[in-house]
Amino acid sequence: MNETSKSVAEHWLAGQQAMWKPFFPWTAGQSGEPKPAANANPLEEQFNELRDTWQASVTKWTDFAKEAAQGELPSADKLREMFTPAAWAHGPGSGPGVVDAALQRVLEGPRYAVLWDLDRQLLELKKLTLQRDQAVAAYQAVVQKAWNAAFQRFAKALGSDPLASTKLTWRGLADKWLAVANDTLIDVHRSEKFIEAQRQMLRAASDRHLQERKIAEAWCEAGHIPTRTEIDELQRHVVELRREVRLLRRATPAGAIPAATVGARRVPARRPRTASKRART
Partner 1 sequence: MPATRTSPAAKAVAELDDLNLKLARGQRMLRRLKDEDVQIATADKEVVFREDKTTLYRYKSTAKHTIGVPVLVAYGQIGRYTMTDLQEDRSMLRNLLALGVDVYAVDWGSPTRGDRWLTFEDYVDVYLADCIEHICRAHDLPAINLLGICEGGVFSLCYAALYPERVKNLILTITPVDFHQDQADGRLNHGFVNLWTRGLADEDIERLIEANGNLPGELMSYVFSQMTPGATMSKYNVGLLDTFDDEKKLLNFLRMEKWLADRPHHPGEAAKQLLVNLYKNNELVRGEFELGGRKVNLKDIKVPVLNVFAKDDHVIPPKTTQALRRAVGSRDYTEIGLDGGHVGVFVGGRSQGVLGKGIADWLRKRD
Where do contacts with partner 1 occur on this chain (CB under 8 A)? 166, 169-171, 174-175, 178-179, 181-182, 185-187, 189-190, 195-196, 198-199, 202-203, 205-207, 209-210, 213, 232, 235-236, 239-240, 243, 246, 266-268, 270-271, 273-281
> Whole-angstrom Cα distance, residue 66 to residue 10?
9
Q: Whose Cβ is closer to partner 1: residue 127's or residue 199's?
A: 199
Q: Whose Cβ is closer to partner 1: residue 126's or residue 203's?
A: 203
Q: Whose Cβ is closer to partner 1: residue 97's or residue 172's?
A: 172
Q: Cα torsion for 237, 241, 242, 248, to the nearest 10°? A: 170
Q: Whose Cβ is closer to partner 1: residue 10's or residue 175's?
A: 175
Specify the DSSP class assigned to residue 215.
H
> Whole-angstrom Cα distance, residue 42 to residue 58?
24
Q: Whose Cβ is closer to partner 1: residue 40's or residue 178's?
A: 178
**Alpha carbon distances (Å) from 265 to 90, 249, 261:** 61, 11, 10
CB of 258 to partner 1, least distance (A): 20
Instruction: Report the Cα 176 to chain-centroid distance in Å.
Output: 60
CB of 219 to partner 1, least distance (A): 18
Going 141 to 147 to 153 to 155, the CA torsion angle's sign is negative
Burial class (CB in 10 A: 0-12, 13-18, 19+), 249: middle
Q: Whose Cβ is closer to partner 1: residue 44's or residue 196's?
A: 196
The CA-based angle 65-67-69, given to 5 degrees, is 70
Q: Whose Cβ is closer to partner 1: residue 78's or residue 203's?
A: 203
Look at residues 25, 12, 144 and name the one whose alpha carbon lies nearest to residue 66: 12
Look at residues 106, 115, 72 and name the one whose alpha carbon lies nearest to residue 219: 115
Phi, psi at residue 93, to the nearest 5°?
A: 105, -40
Look at residues 177, 174, 183 and name the one whose alpha carbon lies nearest to residue 157: 177
Report whether 215 contacts 118 (CB < 8 A): yes
